[in-house]
Amino acid sequence: MGVFAALGTALCWAIAARLFRGTGNAFSPLTMNFWKGLISIAILAVVIAVVQPNAYGTNAVLWLLLSGFIGIGIGDTCFFKALKSIGDSQAVLVAETLAPLFTALFAMAFIGEWITWQQWVGIAVVLLSVDMVIKSRRRNTTHVFATSGYMYGVGAALCQAVGAVVSRDILGSGDIDAASAAFLRLVGGMIFVVPLIVITRSKWLPVLATNQRVWPAFMLATLLGTTAAIYLQMFAFAYAKAAVVQTLIATSALMSLGVAWVMGEKATKATLIWSVIALVGVGILVSFGSPL
């Protein structure tokens, strides 16, 4: 279940990325982080009120708020900064390659969660494939080397890893359900984002050109890429190792090929070959080693 939930998260992110792209530059990184968080919090609050999950301890609440503060608040803001600075291909390349590696190391160091050598091979195969697909898709695109942009990418990966390990530690114990965990993580992210908007005097609303409509695409992207994705991510952490989940989520870059194909774009031979190799890596991750 954890594996399928992680792959579901990747698919949601792949579709949402295409939709977010349609909003153009209307949202600043902070504004986008604020609105997608606020909308998702409202939706999850309704879900929790209807489901009425069991009570959970203060310890779990505090750790998940911290996880969201770091992983969503700081991490997503860093990632959006990297996107604007070095472009989507390089930002994804840095963040999605390093996040699973950092997660594996942090999980071993702080919660004693080890993965088998076969799973290490699977992680290597998946990440290599993701890197090669991204590079092959952007072969003719040049990027200005911006040190700050790459540093933001590394920072995003570190924050994702910290958030993943904390979430895995809490959810793996079974003390809290996925919907409540997702809600708390998003609230933790807002604790970072809201004061930063006030301090930097950023605009609360998107800047729209004449007759520009971005809210429908943004709402759908938020529903998939934030609300559904973070719920599935929390569900995955309850049933699978943190490093495995983070690696499977990195396949969103590959799933975006399928989204592009549905939209009428053609994939190159190289991207198809590396996508098949990535599936082999996913198979290794699923087949070898206990999921818990």
| DSSP-based helix, strand, coil % in the chain, nearest 5 | 80, 0, 20
Q: Report the amino acid identity of residue 27.
A: F
Plot region of 110 (φ>0 → left; ψ -120 to 50 → alpha; else → beta):
alpha
Question: How far apart (Å, rounded) are the C-alpha atoms in residues 248 and 100?
Answer: 9
Mean predicted lDDT score pLDDT of the chain: 84
Which has the higher per-residue pLDDT, 285 or 160?
160
Which has the higher per-residue pLDDT, 25 or 41?
41
Count CA within 13 A, CB hemisphere, residue 207. Answer: 6
> 């943004």: which residue's tokens?
218
Provide the pLDDT for residue 142.
Answer: 46
Q: Are 65 and 191 in contact (CB under 8 A)?
A: yes
> 């699973």: which residue's tokens?
100
What is the C-alpha end-to-end distance of the chain, expressed in Å?
Answer: 11
pLDDT of 226 higher than 80: yes
Closest CA to 30 of 151, 159, 197: 197
209: confidence class by pLDDT, cuts 50, 70, 90: low
Q: What average pLDDT does the segment 30-39 reach?
A: 89
Closest CA to 247 of 99, 64, 115, 62: 99
291: confidence class by pLDDT, cuts 50, 70, 90: very low
88: confidence class by pLDDT, cuts 50, 70, 90: low
Query: What is the enclosing helix (H) or strand (E) of 3?
Result: helix 2-21
Closest CA to 53 of 188, 229, 175: 175
Closest CA to 192 of 77, 69, 65: 69
181: confidence class by pLDDT, cuts 50, 70, 90: very high
The pLDDT > 70 percentage for the chain reads 91
Q: Which of 84-93, 142-151, 219-228 reaches the highest mean pLDDT?
A: 219-228
> What is the DSSP secondary-structure string of 96-132?
HHHHHHHHHHHHHHHS-----HHHHHHHHHHHHHHHH
Question: How far apart (Å, rounded) are the C-alpha atoms in residues 117 and 123?
Answer: 10
Q: Are 184 and 21 in contact (CB under 8 A)?
A: no
Which has the higher per-residue pLDDT, 55 or 58?
58
Q: What average pLDDT does the segment 75-79 reach?
A: 87
- Catalogue the long-range contacts made by 48-54 (C-beta closer than 8 Å, 24 or more residues apart): 48/179, 48/180, 48/183, 51/177, 51/179, 53/176, 53/177, 53/179, 53/180, 54/177
The pLDDT > 90 percentage for the chain reads 33
Coil/strand/helix, residue 204: coil
Question: How far apart (Å, rounded) are the C-alpha atoms in residues 152 and 75?
Answer: 9
Q: What average pLDDT does the segment 57-62 reach?
A: 88
Count CB-CB contacts under 10 A for residue 20.
23
Provide the pLDDT for residue 150.
Answer: 83
Which has the higher per-residue pLDDT, 187 or 286?
187
> 């999850």: which residue's tokens?
44
Q: Are 112 and 269 in contact (CB under 8 A)?
A: no
Q: Are 274 and 132 in contact (CB under 8 A)?
A: yes
Q: What count of residues does the chain have?
A: 292
Q: What average pLDDT does the segment 123-130 reach?
A: 86
pLDDT of 269 higher than 80: no
